[in-house]
Amino acid sequence: MQKTWKPTTAGVLSIVAGAIDVIIGAVILIAGGIALQFLELTGMEWAMGLIMAIGPIWIVLGIVAIVGGVYALKRRLWGLALAGAICAVSGFWLLGILAIIFVAMGKGEFE
């Protein structure tokens, strides 16, 4: 089996997109917590609670994308590498779509 650039590129793209997801999720949580203090005065804290619920979801998607990217670099567990690439779409979608394509193209290189 010849090693090509496709799984490596997919892994790097997934890791970068996953890191962006984690950063976005953390910013949403931090900014939401700060804004929540101000919105309590207006009675609109329920709206910020809904927005803050997105932060942990984004962080989890980012972590899955990073783990999938690592497995793509190792060329192991194709399903997890593909799941990571799919989760990478949530942040910077272009990187995620390219990661999905490259993981799918390099399926034969995975153990």
Considering only residues 34 and 73, tell me which one the structure prediction assigns the higher pLDDT. 73
In a domain, 103, yes or no: yes
Segments forming the whole domain that contains residue 103: 6-23+55-109
In a domain, 105, yes or no: yes
- What is the predicted pLDDT for the residue at 34? 79
25 versus 110: the higher-pLDDT residue is 25
Q: Does 82 map to a domain?
A: yes
pLDDT of residue 1: 64
pLDDT at 83 over 90: yes
Measure the CA–CA gap between 68 and 12, rounded to whole angstroms.
10
pLDDT, residue 92, reads 82
What count of other Cβ atoms lies within 10 Å of the Cβ of residue 93?
Answer: 11
Does pLDDT of 43 surpass 80? no
Q: Percentage of the chain surpassing pLDDT 90?
A: 59
Residue 93 in tokens: 């979608």
In the structure, what pLDDT confidence band is assigned to residue 67 with cuts at 50, 70 and 90? Answer: very high
Is the residue at 43 inside a domain?
Answer: no
Secondary structure (H, E, C), 26-86: HHHHHHHHHHHHHHCCCCCHHHHHHHHHHHHHHHHHHHHHHHHHHHHHHCCCHHHHHHHHH
Q: Based on the structure, what is the number of domains in the chain?
A: 1
Rg, C-alpha atoms of the chain: 17
Of 40-49, 53-62, 86-95, the one with minimum mean pLDDT is 40-49
**Residues found in the chain:** 111
